[in-house]
Amino acid sequence: MYSTKQKSIIMEILKENKERLLSPDEILDILKLKDESCSKATLYRFLDNLALTKEVRKCYNQDTNRFEYQLAMGDCSRHLHLKCKKCGLVIHLDCHDTEEFLHHISEEHGFLIDNYESTIYGLCPKCR
């Protein structure tokens, strides 16, 4: 797993699924389909390192009681994330109105939202 090839394959999987949050088990399943192997512990270590460097977002899913990972798109600390509860689509919400909302929450209510960690759940236009 420490080889550059395997890390490249995991990054490729994350890029191919950039609009979804993936669990380590889902990543391992995709690796198997690609005839690649990796231990779960090694994969967790690699994903945690990517989360520390903010190359991926690490999000806790309360419904499944597990962490999920997604390739970071741009500066994820500067926008909110929307996740469809039905299909799993994740939208990086880069929107001027959102910036105003976050500023309002900070200035008027004294609460600083951690955008990098924040995900709002609902239904995407397709699943609605």
Domain with CATH 1.10.10.10 in the chain: 4-71
> Tens of pLDDT along 68-123?
999 987 777 777 889 898 998 888 888 888 888 888 999 999 999 887 778 888 99
Fold for 4-71, please state it.
Arc Repressor Mutant, subunit A (1.10.10)
Architecture of domain 76-122: 2-Layer Sandwich (3.30)
- Tokens 């690649």 correspond to what residue? 36
Domain with CATH 3.30.1490.190 in the chain: 76-122
Q: What residues form DSSP beta bridges with 30?
A: none
pTM: 0.75
Q: Tell which residue, 125, 126, 128, 121, has the closest CA to residue 85.
A: 121
d(CA 91, CA 84): 9
